[in-house]
Amino acid sequence: MSRAWSDMDERKRILRESFTDTAVVWKDDYPYFVHPLTDGVPRIDADLMRAVADLVIEIVDWEEVDLILGIEAMGLPLVATVSLMTNVPMLIARKRSYGLEGEEIVSQSTGYSKGVLHLNDLSENDRVLIIDDVLSTGGTLDAILEGVTNTGAQVSEVVIVVEKGEKMRELAEKHGTKINSLVKIEMGENGIVIVD
């Protein structure tokens, strides 16, 4: 399923180096970093996307996954890449309602926004892998985990590319779900600091 890399640490090096010179902007009192994988700006390098997808593929127990779920908007390129590399079907939690039978509506709140997401085409007993770009306040992931459970589907595990803050363990315990991240960052005085 995954591409052969000459050096297994090469993928992590590519991911870590992508944070060099990452811009930080303030949304009210919230420090927001601007990164290709979390914002699509600056442009997403194909080697970075391949490295991240390969890291995700390596850590997931694929025997326990029927479906990959991503979250609009930046979950789309991540989930699409992993889906193509594994042949596992994908769904996207959308900001738009389609009014389909069984649509699950979840309210989410982050450090800088509030909104509603819509889950469609999740069936009872589907084993769902959730992939998302960043976990910071945990508001979006908390809502998605609850929504998936409400549909009768089961979350097999969650993979977050960028972990910021301390919410990951709290959410894993609250939902009884395995959650992994590929890189953990903190906001330092001079920008982003990688912590792992």
Q: How far apart are CA 153 and CA 100, in angstroms?
A: 17
Tens digit of each residue's pLDDT, the chain (196 residues) = 445 555 558 999 999 999 988 888 887 777 788 999 999 999 999 999 999 999 999 999 999 999 999 999 889 999 999 999 999 999 999 999 999 999 999 987 766 678 899 999 999 999 999 999 999 989 999 999 999 999 999 999 999 999 998 999 999 999 999 999 999 999 877 778 899 7
Give residue 24's pLDDT.
Answer: 87
Length of the chain: 196
Instruction: Output the pTM of the full model.
Output: 0.92
| Upstream peptide bond of 73 is cis (omega within 30 degrees of 0) | yes
Q: How far apart are CA 147 and CA 140, in angstroms?
A: 11
Give residue 111's pLDDT.
Answer: 60
3-class secondary-structure state, position 92:
strand
The domains located in the chain, with CATH, are: 10-194 (3.40.50.2020)
Give residue 116's pLDDT.
Answer: 92
Q: 36-51: per-residue pLDDT in tens?
A: 999 999 999 999 999 9
CA angle 94, 99, 104 (to 5 degrees): 60
Give residue 112's pLDDT.
Answer: 62
